[in-house]
Amino acid sequence: CQSYEALLLSTEATVKVYGVIKALPEGKSAPGGHELVCDYWEVVGLSPPGGADNLVNEDSLVDVQLDQRHMMLRGDVLSKIFRVRSMVGHCFRQHFFDRGYVEVTPPTLVKTQVEGGATLFKLDYFGDEKYNRIRWTRKYSKIRQNLILTK
């Protein structure tokens, strides 16, 4: 595909690809053993000039990295951290699931609206005004076992 749009493409541009997924020919290799044979493509959104590397990289100042966090999360280092966290969480869940435990993710009740009205809603909690946090926050995750003992 040769076009003016192809010359403008850089890392993190968004394209829509039309084609057929086919098994790889003998002697070729690709993840999953398949390839996309493109019939047509179009640009949905261009990335900034120079691609994502001009927005942020590992040498950028901390405030720049935080402002562009959504881009930093796509890097190799943070991707590996996500994979390890996922694997550890899966192992803990599997351990407890195999022993008959049930995972429960209750809502978080907070006393004041400090996070912004978009993520909280007000409720009457036994005569006391509380706010329910709608969005689950990952930083508060922990593995805890509670056993109910019965006779």
pLDDT in tens, 93-148: 899 889 888 887 776 666 776 655 556 677 787 888 877 766 555 555 566 555 55
Domain count, the chain: 2
Residue 124 is assigned to a structural domain of this protein:
yes
Neighbours of 115 (CB within 10 A): 14
Cα–Cα distance measured from residue 61 to residue 46, given in angstroms and rounded to the nearest whole number = 25
- Highest mean pLDDT of the ranges 35-39, 46-50, 115-119, 130-134: 35-39
Cα–Cα distance measured from residue 135 to residue 120, given in angstroms and rounded to the nearest whole number = 8
Residue 5 is assigned to a structural domain of this protein:
yes
Cα–Cα distance measured from residue 107 to residue 136, given in angstroms and rounded to the nearest whole number = 8
Residue 24 is assigned to a structural domain of this protein:
yes
- Highest mean pLDDT of the ranges 11-15, 53-57, 115-119: 11-15
Residue 75 is assigned to a structural domain of this protein:
no
Residue 31 is assigned to a structural domain of this protein:
yes
Q: With bands split at pLDDT 50, 70 and 90, how would you rate the model's confidence at 19?
A: very high
Residue 92 is assigned to a structural domain of this protein:
no
CATH code where residue 7 lies: 2.40.50.140
Which residues constitute the domain of residue 119? 106-138
